[in-house]
Amino acid sequence: MGLLDAFLRWIKPAARDNYAATYGSGNSAGFAGGAVGRLTASMATWSGAVNADLDASLVIMRARGRQLAANNEYGRRFLTLVAANIAGHAGPKLQVRAYRDQRDPNKPTTLDKSANDAVEVHWAKWGKTADIAGRMTFPHLLRLIAKGVARDGEALVRIVRRRDLPYGIALQLLEADRLDETLNLSTGARTIRQGVEIDATGRPLAYYVKTQHPGDRYATGQQGVERIPAGDIIHIFLPERAEQVRGYTWFHAILLRAAQLHGFNDAALLAARIGASKIAALERAEEAPDATASIADGQVGGAFQMNVEAGELFELPPGYKLNSWDPEYPHANFESFVKAAMRGISAGLDVATHNLSGDMTDVNYSSARIAELSEREQWKVLQDWFIAALVEPIYQQWLGLAMLRGDITFEISGKALPADKLAKFASASRFRGRRWGWVDPAKEIEAHEKGVALGIASRTRIAAEQGDDLEDVIDELAEEKKMLDAAGLTPKEKPPAPEPKPKQDTDLEKAVKAMALRAAEPQQPSHITIHQAPITITTPETRVDVAPASVTLQPAEVRVDVHVPEQAPPTVTVQPAEVRVDVAPAAVEVHVEAIMPAQSEVSIVAMPDRETTSSVERNSAGEIVKTKQTEKDA
């Protein structure tokens, strides 16, 4: 810069960039969270690259995460939740929905059920031998990987291909310590960052894996590093930042709080034990005589001690007094403090507090439902990530080798699935994570039923939400029906109940009611005596003779109940001295109830005899079409 330029700048200073002037200075005119001052001195003022941050913290956070999982009950509980909700008891379920090759475009396409079932059956069969060490099945291996990712932040799965292995493939699970985080190299040809070789886009090309675990003191041989191509290693971790190369423990946000709470619980427990044991001290005045020989039971470190039995009363010598120490623990605020700390830890782990702690004291149905729904959505997100990052790559590797070797065969014919159909079955395969039932399944089933009826839900979707395949459900129902039919246990459908027919009075009932109404009519003189002639009731099998009776009635209400079972219409003939009933073999019940008034001055002593004649006209089918009844004095 010449003298002329300097002189011009002194006359007219350069324009100032207001934004550049405040960059990194913590000017209060910006965001309050970015201010720098006495109250924010402990807060960060600079952030480096994620991989640079991990250079200093990766190993330490991994060690602390493992310590938390091993020695803290809440850390272990979280890993259990991770394994149960991400991997599940049987692992993500495979569903293959490939369609048959349809040559005629006019015909509808159908699922290739036999081939789909063959792939699913052989996948489950391989899962029993997936671990190359032979220690666990594929679902168990997935649960172990899920725990390792949550605890260590990452996991390594090596794919081993050998001819002697079932289906030609197996898996070797390696701990994250094997990946050499100290190996960093940047040249024009390649970049190695924390043991991972990446290209210019950040895609992994290879992994530098230690031949022995660095923490194994009894390892044999010399420690070395092996370069394994990325196609043979699945490095699974949950990225949190864009250029992240290695994963870190999911406990990172709660390591300090969980350690402090654990220490607080230990200290509170110790204080409670001390508080449960009463402790007192003997205080001696300067002028008090020396009476230690008479009251002391022993001497420890020059200090006298005295043991007191439960319920014992004693007298202290002159000049001595007893000072007791009574700590307040367990403190009344202990429980509220622990709950507040647990809420923070649960938030840092994205789980419901009652699921992490197991404390259901303050939980009701509504609060539990809200917390469970929110947590389950997060588990679904992690399931999708876990399936895409681990399960599907393993399946694609297995499917390609198994079909090329001809290991996937049909159950009945034994014919192998053709290898040229690999793309068809690979694209038609999908995995579904585990799903959860609800506290009130009746309401859930009712909601599903209404959804299907309204056309806003399908049975396929409902089965998928529960982690099932509708085809499998239909097959199971059909198989159950065959088994029940073969055993003769198929429930029979009940015939619909017949509609009740309106009750109609029979000829006998009509005749008896007419006689009862006639008998209840008031007559002169006021006293009426009814003389009943012998009554004979004759059926084809029974003859009943009723002796004559004389009844004196006062004018009253007469109720007649006649019960005649369903039968052919009877023939009734009523005469003054005889009632003859010809009916089919059945029981006829006649009940006559006379309700007498409480007080009556009328006495019936006599009533003229009456003659009643009834005739019945029937059609050719035997049905009554017309009845006629004639009544007159005898």
Residue with tokens 């319920």: 311
Mean pLDDT of 84-112: 86
Closest CA to 503 of 455, 445, 450, 564: 564
pLDDT of residue 12: 54
For 542-585, what is each residue's pLDDT tens digit?
A: 454 545 444 444 444 444 444 445 544 545 444 444 444 444 44
* Percentage of the chain lying above the pLDDT 70 cut: 71
- Which range, 8-12, 223-227, 288-292, 475-479, is most confident? 223-227
pLDDT of residue 485: 82
Whole-model pTM: value is: 0.67
Contact predicate 393/431, CB 8 Å: no
Look over the chain and give the mean of its residue pLDDT values, rounded to a whole number: 78
Under the banding of pLDDT at 50, 70 and 90, the label for residue 115 is very high
Domain boundaries, the chain: 507-633
How would you classify the pairing of strands 429-432 and 154-161?
unpaired
Mean pLDDT of 89-105: 86
pLDDT of residue 13: 52
* Terminal-residue alpha carbon distance, the chain: 157
Asked if the model's pLDDT at residue 100 lies above 80, the reply is yes
Contact predicate 567/584, CB 8 Å: yes
The number of helices, as runs of H, and strands, as runs of E, in the chain is 17, 24
Question: Would you state the structure tokens that stand for residue 470, as one six-digit string?
Answer: 């509708």
For 490-520, what is each residue's pLDDT tens digit?
A: 766 666 667 766 666 666 677 667 766 666 6
Strands (E), 212-307: 225-229, 233-237, 279-284, 298-300, 303-305
Q: Pick the residue with more confidence: 283 or 77?
A: 77
Contact predicate 550/532, CB 8 Å: yes
Closest CA to 147 of 92, 213, 207, 75: 75
Mean pLDDT of 322-337: 75
Distance CA 562, CA 584 (A): 16
For 42-64, what is each residue's pLDDT tens digit?
A: 888 888 899 999 998 999 999 99
Asked if the model's pLDDT at residue 208 lies above 80, the reply is yes
Asked if the model's pLDDT at residue 247 lies above 90, the reply is yes
Distance CA 171, CA 534 (A): 105
In the DSSP assignment, the letter for residue 103 is S
Asked if the model's pLDDT at residue 331 lies above 50, the reply is yes
pLDDT of residue 25: 60
Q: Pick the residue with more confidence: 623 or 58?
A: 58
Distance CA 404, CA 426 (A): 13
pLDDT of residue 599: 46
Asked if the model's pLDDT at residue 162 lies above 50, the reply is yes
Helix, strand, or coil (residue 151)? helix
Q: CA angle, 418 as apex, 414 and 421 as ends, to 5°?
A: 135
